[in-house]
Chain A
Amino acid sequence: DTGVSQDPRHKITKRGQNVTFRCDPISEHNRLYWYRQTLGQGPEFLTYFQNEAQLEKSRLLSDRFSAERPKGSFSTLEIQRTEQGDSAMYLCASSLGTGGQPQHFGDGTRLSIL
């Protein structure tokens, strides 16, 4: 399978714990995006990278959220001190960075906070 891969698919944790999710984009894609989706809503943009540079992070939900893409390939999204409201699906997408190319999404990590 050469699509966007996310790990884990499901994460259950207690409130206050830190969690980290991984995204492996399509190999030739230089742009990588993170979104959050809550029940009944469309995905909501969080941040994106072009290669290893994080070019937009103002829409991360709070300073508890951070993302990295250290070598311009896979990315991680970390949530520190999780809260009940962080329960959601976290989606990753990737694209080529040119001319209106579409984003291709993974199947997400579903986070449940107990």
Chain B
Amino acid sequence: DAKTTQPPSMDCAEGRAANLPCNHSTISGNEYVYWYRQIHSQGPQYIIHGLKNNETNEMASLIITEDRKSSTLILPHATLRDTAVYYCIVRGLAGNDMRFGAGTRLTVKP
């Protein structure tokens, strides 16, 4: 499975959009991009995933570049409750595990 690179930490002002980048330059054609977040003392929470096209759901939007070598998770109006560690993971259809890296610690500030 391809590896991902994320900044270790980011800050965002409450009410503003949070844009979390992820590089996955060795991604293969059949590998999906998944985003999870983890709030202290809870399990990882699934946010969104995509293959090639941009995706949007009630939590976030996922923008994948045309060459699929990077992606951005967008939280359109960040709240204090969005403070968490955000993980970007790539995994193919045949993959069994989610390989979590260190993630990005997002801090939303009032």
Contact = CB atoms under 8 A, between A and B. Distances in A.
Interface of A: 4, 33, 35, 41-45, 48, 55-56, 59, 91, 93, 99-100, 102-108, 110
In the A-B complex, the 8 residue pairs with the smallest Cβ-Cβ separation, listed nearest first, are: A42-B100, A45-B97, A105-B43, A100-B32, A107-B43, A102-B46, A105-B44, A43-B100
Main secondary structure of the interface of B (DSSP, over half): loop
Chain B interface size, as a band, is 20 to 34
Interface of B: 32, 34, 36, 41-46, 49, 51, 87, 91, 93, 96-103
Contacts of A45: 96-99
Contacts of A59: 97
A102 B97 CA distance: 10
A105 B45 contact: yes
B43 A42 contact: no
A44 B43 CA distance: 13
A17 B87 CA distance: 34
